[in-house]
Homo-oligomer: A and B are copies of this chain.
């Protein structure tokens, strides 16, 4: 079992990663002195696979869980789902000292975390991420929230869980496309922070795609450690934390204009990261060779790296980017990489260059 600590003073917490980690849920909840009454928030897919077991694990450890299930998919990351969850919690009389277990992928974690952050002005919660995306990214660091019509993650909070429990076995039931989508975040950590990880991914990608636990476990732990290190220095994204958004400005805009759900998040940010790599080449001197390596790794992971857009769609994409949370004073700020393993944030990209890059989204340059 790998244990990574997210260092946030009195809100510090561990991320535990291992095979059959789920079995330890009850013990961990007891050790964290959580109260009896709780709600498992999950989605229709994950609840079917792991809902009953999770409920039994909690019950047999002396907890009293109810099950709240939302429909699987990005559309559930909405204010309507938040309202639905509130109503269920209130109907079952969950109190201030009750807690929430977020059992599922990124959508469930973000939604359940936001519900926990705001129900009765905040109750404790626990993350049990069951997708690769959620294990390496969304469950760690306390960003919770939902989408608005106007854009992704526009409503939310910073609210930290009591602990995060990543069970590698839950990845076995993950659909292929979802798993590959998670790899987009894994690759991101290599690009922005860790050249050695990037090389390891180039070397071990096939074993990762086969979901070999021996290969997966240290990679997931390394991703969580990088995230913990960054979040520990900048919890509310005053600066450094922004580098985690490499590829996300364009990625989020792609999700917004195509209607959430057409592209998975990892697919959208795969396209976004390749575009950001090209912008990095122009503006930060990222070697052309490394742009090629980045494109190649995403392509090998089976992720999209291009997107055909007509003029009107490009304009909508630009408009959507203007709503990004990183916009400041009307300027879109980009995360760019000077080289693989080293990204920095706050780079203004001239609109003309951005338009040209969007026009080139349809072309693969290499691979």
Contacts and interface: CB of A to CB of B under 8 A. Distances in A.
Interface of A: 35, 79, 82-83, 86-87, 90-91, 93, 95-97, 117-122, 143, 145, 148-151, 153-158, 236, 322-323, 325-330
B79 A121 contact: no
B96 A328 contact: yes
Contacts of A117: 157
Given A83-B79, A95-B328, A121 B90 contact: no
Given A118-B118, A121-B145, A145-B121, A95 B327 contact: yes
A96 B157 contact: no
A23 B328 CA distance: 28
A79 B151 CA distance: 18
A82 B80 CA distance: 12
B120 A154 contact: yes
A150 B90 contact: yes
Contacts of A79: 79, 82-83
A157 B121 contact: yes
A62 to B, nearest CB: 14
A88 to B, nearest CB: 10
Contact of A118 (B96, B157, B236): B157
Contacts of A82: 79
Quick one: copies of this chain in the complex? 2
Given A96-B328, A121-B143, A91 B150 contact: yes
Nearest to A322: B93
7 contacts: A79-B83, A87-B149, A96-B327, A118-B155, A120-B155, A121-B158, A121-B236
A149 B87 CA distance: 8
Contacts of A90: 148-151, 154, 323
A194 B119 CA distance: 32
A143 B83 CA distance: 20
A153 B121 CA distance: 8
A156 B118 contact: yes
Given A95-B328, A122-B236, 11 more contacts: A79-B83, A86-B154, A90-B148, A90-B151, A95-B327, A96-B328, A97-B329, A118-B156, A121-B325, A122-B157, A157-B157
A151 B35 CA distance: 22
A97 B157 contact: no
A148 to B, nearest CB: 5
A79 B149 CA distance: 15
A151 B87 CA distance: 10
Contacts of A327: 93, 95-96
A270 to B, nearest CB: 24
Contacts of A35: 329
Contacts of A326: 96
Contacts of A97: 328-329
A148 B328 contact: no
Contact of A155 (B86, B96, B151, B155): B86
A28 B158 CA distance: 27
A332 to B, nearest CB: 11
Contacts of A121: 143, 145, 153, 156-158, 236, 325
A155 B90 CA distance: 10
Query: Which 8 A/B pairs are nearest by Cβ-Cβ distance?
Result: A90-B150, A121-B156, A120-B325, A118-B155, A95-B327, A86-B148, A79-B83, A96-B325
